[in-house]
Amino acid sequence: MGDRASWSERRRALRVPVRGMAVFYAEDGAVLGRIENLSSGGALVSVVGLPGEAADSFDVELKLGIDSGWVSARTVRVDRTRDVDRRLRIAVAFDRIDEPLRAAIGSAIDIAMRAARRRPILVIDDRIPRRVELVTRLAARGLTPLAPRTPLEAIDLLTRTQFSVHVCLLAASFGQSTAELRALVSDSFPWVSTAEISDDLDATIDRALEAWSGTEVARLAAIA
């Protein structure tokens, strides 16, 4: 009984890499942020500045996929990043939370943990025979390769929370060079690590595994 209770407490405190949006509200305005990780009791949010700089508590609207709701949150830590846009990472603890949002957070955490066990990797490669062989070999190594055939399909896979993609293997595709695709992924999905696809598939798979091991979701997979 004690072990089950201990696991329940750890699970509630566990921060998982769930992506979504957060809007901080104060008397002098509102600021949009990007959720980097989430637990049932708090979140880490990336923002550019905050309303009410002297305030240590906010009303916050959270959006997780199609679900949204409100929390009352207090700031517990503020970290300045070295990004060129000088973003802040704000760690907040939830004081009050509406019940529909509490359920949505629990569902998002469960989805992230299931995705971590699958170890999804996006494979973008216009050379079909190489892509098919790479997908087959990645699956044999216990990964879940996702191989979009169009740019829109690739974006859909990167944005859908149920897949929780954190690694993308890239080769020149969709009329874009590898460098151009890497820049697009980095700009739009900064939490996704990228690695290059080459004709040496053994080396490509090694790069994929190395990229995966460095992600937040790899830590989650170890305990999911």
The continuous run of DSSP H or E covering 35 comes out as: strand 29-39
Place of tokens 């490509």: 204
**pLDDT tier for residue 85 given thresholds of 50, 70 and 90:** low
Looking up residue 217, the CATH number of its domain turns out to be: 3.40.50.2300
Position 4 scores a pLDDT of: 46
- For residues 98 and 154, membership in a common domain is answered with no
Name the residue range of residue 65's domain.
Answer: 2-112
- For residues 33 and 90, membership in a common domain is answered with yes
CB burial of residue 13 (10 Å; 0-12, 13-18, 19+) = exposed
Position 11 scores a pLDDT of: 47
- For residues 100 and 154, membership in a common domain is answered with no
CB 48 within 8 A of CB 42: no
Q: How many CA atoms lie within 13 A of 29 on its CB side?
A: 6
Looking up residue 60, the CATH number of its domain turns out to be: 2.40.10.220
- Which is more confident, 211 or 14? 211
Question: How far, in Å, are 27, 100, 113, 114, 146 from residue 165 at the CA level?
Answer: 37, 26, 12, 12, 9
pTM of the model: 0.73
Question: How far, in Å, are 11, 137, 169, 174 from residue 164 at the CA level?
Answer: 18, 21, 15, 23
- Among 18-32, 105-119, 140-154, the range of highest mean pLDDT: 140-154
3-state secondary structure of 157: helix
